[in-house]
Structures are given as C-alpha cells and as structure tokens.
Amino acid sequence: MPTSNLAYYVQAAYRLPSSARLWKPYYRFEHIDIDSRDVVFAGVPNLDGSTIGVRYDISTYAAIKSEARIRRRTADQPRTNGWFLQIAFTF
C-alpha cells in the first residue's frame, strides 16, 4: 500500500551590516508528517519545531552559535524546549 510523507524546513538568516558583520541571526521552522500506514518510518513521530539563534564568526575558520529550540512531536504531548551552544571549526 503506497504511503506519502511530508517533511520540510524553511530558514531565514541575515548577516548584519558594517561593523556588526560577524553576527548572523537566524530563524528556522521544521515540519515532519509521517503517514500512519508507513511501516518503514512508523517509529518517527511527527514534528513541528522552531529554532531561533545567532551565529558569531570568531575567525575565518571558527564560529560560535547560540540557539533556542521549541519542539512539539504530537498534539497530545507537551512542547520540549532547549538551549544549545555550539563551537564549530572548519579547515
């Protein structure tokens, strides 16, 4: 029996101008809707979530991010909130 799942995210970010160009605030919305008849993804709960954060470029090769996440998996479950801090390097 064929099933259909839907998942997407939309993100907006803006690098601040001039002397504040090292800062980049952003917002992301995520949605996952798994068909209840899907046997492959049966264990994946639905999701509606938002992330709001800011990235600061420490150097050309490193950045630090701080973000808050708000998630709801199903309508009968409470929202889960979290705050995350990440340092990322590239080389």
User: On the CB side of 67, how many CA atoms lie within 13 Å of its CA?
Assistant: 20
SS3 (DSSP) at 71: strand
Predicted TM-score (pTM) of the model is 0.83
For the segment 12-24, what is each residue's pLDDT rounded down to a tens digit? 999 999 989 999 9
Q: Which of 9, 6, 1 is nearest to 28 (CA)?
A: 9
For the segment 36-90, what is each residue's pLDDT rounded down to a tens digit? 899 998 888 899 999 999 999 999 999 999 999 999 887 777 889 999 999 999 8
